[in-house]
Amino acid sequence: MKNPINILNDFESVWYFTKYDDGLGKKVGIVYGCKSTDDMDNYFRPVKWKIMSKFQDEKTFNTLTKYIREQGTKFYTNDADNNDSNVWGYYYSKDCDINFEPLDMATTPDLGHTYLFYRDKETRIYKEL
């Protein structure tokens, strides 16, 4: 059997949400990925960026999210009023700890969040990006 982690090699960055309070909760339970910055110009990006749902293959989904959680960066977003966050998740890229642009594109259309905070791997303190 092919190693599920190899799926991630096709993407520049990947992430998943552990909490997404948009009233629908449809973005939790899905691993998203961006193959390149060119992907961000696609109007239909939320569909194009879906890699896998936990309902497709729960074992592979759990393997991928565990890897992203262990190797990636924990984050949350906030709106301009800096109210309690409705969005939490984990982000992974081979090139950097965290990148605002794909996460901004994935959340802004429906929530309008403008701030991104990430947990520093050394200090374990959240910092604004």
Residue 47 belongs to domain spanning? 4-128
Residue 115, amino acid: Y
As given in the structure block, the two tokens for residue 48 are 């194009």
Largest distance between two CA atoms of the chain: 48
Report CA-CA distances (Å) from 44 to 8, 39, 41, 97, 108. 21, 9, 9, 26, 14
Residue 63, amino acid: T
Distant-in-sequence, close-in-space partners of 69: CB < 8 Å, separation ≥ 6: 90
pLDDT digits over 93-112, tens only? 877 767 666 665 665 555 55
Report how far residue 83's alpha carbon sits from residue 68's, in angstroms, rounded to the nearest whole number.
27
The neighbour count for residue 85, using CB atoms within 10 Å, is: 18
Query: Greater confidence, 91 or 103?
Result: 91
Q: How many separate domains does the chain show?
A: 1
Average pLDDT over every residue of 12-38: 78
Report how far residue 109's alpha carbon sits from residue 67's, in angstroms, rounded to the nearest whole number.
28
Residue 42, amino acid: N
Report CA-CA distances (Å) from 31 to 54, 71, 79, 120. 8, 15, 23, 22
pLDDT digits over 35-49, tens only? 765 555 554 555 567
The neighbour count for residue 113, using CB atoms within 10 Å, is: 20
Contact 113, 78 (CB under 8 A): yes
pLDDT of residue 1: 47
